[in-house]
Amino acid sequence: MTSAFQKIEEANAEAVDRMLSGDPVLVDVVPAAQAIPNLRDRMILHAGPMIEWEHMCGPMRGAITGIAVFEGWAADLAEAERMSAAGAFDFWPNHDFDAVGPMTGMTTAGQFVMVVENRAFGNRAYCTVNEGLGKVMRFGGNDAEVRSRLAWLRDEFAPAMGRALRLSNGIALKPLVARGLTMGDEMHQRNAAGTGLVLRALAPALAATARNSGTLSRALSFIAGNDQFFLNIAMAMGKAIMDPVRGIEASSVVTAMTRNGTDFGIRVSGTGDAWFTAPVEMPEGLYFPGYTEDDANPDMGDSTIVETIGLGGFAMAAAPAVAGFVGAGAASEAVEFTRRMGEISCASNPEWTIPILDYVGVPTGIDVRLVVETGLAPTINTGIAHKNPGIGQVGAGVVRAPLACFEQALRALAARLGVS
């Protein structure tokens, strides 16, 4: 008779195999309503697990009112706020609609989403285009400048990027990430290399398909001017890789980690689509000039899907320069983060390796058992939003996933398997 331990080990081997055999390709940029047919009018997808208006944090509320005005559902932010409180909008997690979004993570029918197809499994995942840095909607920005950038993305940039991707038959993301790891990126708080590699892959096709030189020049400038452009691609890639790993009976591998600015939630393969949540923690980090930790909102966003696949805080060794940016200590200590995350992971990824570690692969397949046994919480590299609506990013830091999520998940898995 197979022991519970053996069952879990076999299930986790299957989970890791599915993760490593994923073949994510950035294939298109399309209207969100086309990619996600169930995304109806007045529906707002947000980051993190399910949450109602009354429990949302400041920047999440800021983004919701902003996107409602952008979509034409409210005349101004004040009306959008009244309508939100009155239940005029349906709020749902991105994760329930094959999507992810950074920070507040607004996904609505009138925006465009990038499409990553996992060609090994046939599933697709979606994420909006990264808006750039500073006062942007993902950090709770919502004024006319923020909304007009979203309009430009919808009306000019996203269709141009979609045409270029269709001409080029997509961009294979596994080799691109492998390369980025040799160029100092960890794909969460540092995407300078990934952004450049996407520009290199896309620029010729953008040139060949652009409607005019103004559109083209603006599109190239936008990508070139935003070091975090690749983040949203990495996130859609993470979702595309992890979705086929869901629902493997007895597997203790984490399939999603996410936060809505109020709660942190995880999903585990063997417990299906249940969320295990706990109050989200505050990042520890460094603040932009003029801001302090008093301004900070608790941690937020679906971007932790990047750590779920072994990047971000798990790949810190690849990105010594990011250690300083997120206030995680000396650059030479970055390797320790990756070594620690190896202790809570089932495997290492032979295709995503880190030169300075003599090509050891990134830690892959977070095992809730190992997290609970060691007490080592997944380390996440994150941006920090201002706690009030309408302001934007104020810093960057490191945050730990709350251990309570993993303890709950392990108890639920044990109950399913009939062990204690």
Residue numbers at the binding site for its own copies (CB under 8 A): 179, 182-184, 192-193, 195-197, 199-201, 203-205, 207-208, 210, 213, 216-218, 220-221, 223-224, 320-321, 323-324, 330-332, 355-359
What's the angle, vertex CA 188, arms to CA 186 and CA 190, rounded to 5?
60
Q: Which is nearer to its own copies, 234 or 413 (CB)?
A: 234
Residue 152: closest CA among 111, 207, 195: 111
Q: Which is nearer to its own copies, 35 or 223 (CB)?
A: 223
Q: d(Cα 79, Cα 73) in Å, to the nearest integer?
A: 9
Q: How far is the CB of 361 from its own copies (least distance, A)?
A: 14
Q: How far is the CB of 26 from its own copies (least distance, A)?
A: 16
Q: Which residues, listed in sequence order, are joined to residue 366 by a DSSP beta bridge?
A: 345
Q: How far is the CB of 359 from its own copies (least distance, A)?
A: 7
Q: Which is nearer to its own copies, 223 or 300 (CB)?
A: 223
Chain-centroid distance of CA 408 in Å reads 23
Q: Which is nearer to its own copies, 123 or 189 (CB)?
A: 189
Beta strands in 15-122 (DSSP E): 24-31, 43-46, 90-93, 112-118
Q: How far is the CB of 241 from its own copies (least distance, A)?
A: 24
Give, for 47, the enclosing helix (H) or strand (E): none
Q: Which is nearer to its own copies, 334 or 385 (CB)?
A: 334
Residue 284, exposed/middle/buried by CB under 10 A (0-12, 13-18, 19+)? middle
Q: d(Cα 358, Cα 283) in Å, to the nearest integer?
A: 31
Going by their DSSP bridges, the two strands 43-46 and 90-93 should be labelled as parallel
Q: How far is the CB of 328 from its own copies (least distance, A)?
A: 12
Q: How far is the CB of 161 from its own copies (least distance, A)?
A: 14
Q: How far is the CB of 352 from its own copies (least distance, A)?
A: 13
Q: Which is nearer to its own copies, 36 or 216 (CB)?
A: 216
- Coil, helix or strand for 245? helix
Q: d(Cα 404, Cα 420) in Å, to the nearest integer?
A: 17
Q: How far is the CB of 214 from its own copies (least distance, A)?
A: 8
Q: Which is nearer to its own copies, 182 or 388 (CB)?
A: 182
Q: d(Cα 420, Cα 409) in Å, to the nearest integer?
A: 13
Q: d(Cα 124, Cα 38) in Å, to the nearest integer?
A: 15
What order do you get walking across the sheet with 393-400 strand by strand?
284-287, 393-400, 379-385
Q: Which is nearer to its own copies, 258 or 353 (CB)?
A: 353
